[in-house]
Amino acid sequence: MSAVIEVEHLCKRFGDVMAVKDVTVSVEAGDIFAFLGPNGAGKSTTIKMLTTILRPSSGRMRVNGFDPVTQSYAVRRSFGIVFQDSSLDEDLTAFENMEFHAILYGVGKAERRQRIHTLLDFVELYDRRDSLVREFSGGMKRRLEIARGLLHEPKIIFLDEPTLGLDPQTRNHMWSYLQDLNARQGTTVFFTTHYMEEAERIARHIAIIDHGAIVAMGTAEELCAQTSSQSLEQAFLALTGHDIREEAGGGLERMRNLRKAWRR
């Protein structure tokens, strides 16, 4: 097996703040990989750099063999992403959001209809396909976002806290779909989550990041053994401590969080 994501000494500085200090990580093709860490540890920042929407201060990255900084187009062809916060157009219907995505990603017309149908069915939004997204609840938007991320069947799929705010039914449903996709097409799954039992159950490999650097890497068993813990949750706490973190963020981030708080 070869590495489909390679990161060496990645670093991102925002003014005086080092959001990502030194991340070195490698993900094998076809792996299901969990990227764990407390709030503000640098997970989302790392994902943003891997997915070409943020430029690193220093370090080297390869996604599907391409450099996100200099070969962004080739990298963008390789992945799908479910962002941590909404990236839907709320003035369009669920169906339109799906269809526009499919066209942007060059999914053929016949295939498009069928896949949109399957995926909207799968997230139980098919009956609401012609409703404007602004009328959806937080959970429904999340489901639509996930369905859209899966639409073009990418080689690598990034999911930044995909299950946040989802009920256990939908969560299980989503993971079995992703596991199936992984088995059928060898899709690499790279995800972050705060649910440790989810990571333990789903991920084959795990990296734990704290204060912008990787503190541990391995399978769930290895991490437990390394910290002589019974569960991944204990191992996680042993590695990252018990302090509660404050998430740094600008005004925009605060506004978004506020919006989220109101929605749920």
Partner 1 sequence: MGAIYVMWLRQLKRYGRSPARIVASLGQPLLFFVALGFGLGRVFQAAGAGNYLDFLAPGIMAMSIIFTSVFSGMDLIWDRQFGFLKETLVAPVSRVAIMFGRVLGGSTTSTLQGVLVLLLSIALGFRPEHWWGVIAAIGAGLSLAFLFAAFGLLLGTLMRDMQGYPLVMNFVVMPMFFLSGAVFPLDRVASAMRLLAMIDPLTYGVDALRRLLTGSAQFSLLTDLSVTIALSLVLLLLAARSFSRMQV
Q: Give whole-number Cα distances, 49 to 54, 59, 105, 263, in Å.
A: 5, 11, 20, 28
Q: Which one, 108 or 168, has the nearer CB to partner 1?
A: 108
Q: In the numeric block, which tokens belong to residue 97? A: 């959001």
Q: Which one, 32 or 144, has the nearer CB to partner 1?
A: 144
Nearest alpha-carbon partner for 10 in 49, 40, 44, 37:
49
Query: What are the residues facing 206 on neighbouring strands?
Result: 34, 218
Q: Which one, 47 or 202, has the nearer CB to partner 1?
A: 47
Q: Which one, 17 or 255, has the nearer CB to partner 1?
A: 255
Q: How far is the CB of 223 from partner 1 (least distance, A)?
A: 31
d(CA 84, CA 51): 13
d(CA 219, CA 240): 17
Q: How far is the CB of 44 from partner 1 (least distance, A)?
A: 10
Q: How far is the CB of 36 from partner 1 (least distance, A)?
A: 22
Q: Which one, 55 or 201, has the nearer CB to partner 1?
A: 55
Q: How far is the CB of 16 from partner 1 (least distance, A)?
A: 18
Q: Give whole-number Cα distances, 64 to 20, 24, 33, in Å.
A: 22, 16, 15
Percent of residues in the chain assigned helix, strand, coil, to nearest 5 = 45, 25, 35
Residues at the contact surface with partner 1, assessed by CB under 8 A: 48, 51-55, 73, 76-77, 79, 81, 83, 85-92, 96, 100-101, 103-106, 132, 252, 255
Q: How far is the CB of 251 from partner 1 (least distance, A)?
A: 8
Nearest alpha-carbon partner for 189 in 148, 232, 145, 155:
155
15: left (phi over 0), alpha (psi -120 to 50) or beta: left
Q: Which one, 156 or 202, has the nearer CB to partner 1?
A: 156
Q: How far is the CB of 4 from partner 1 (least distance, A)?
A: 17
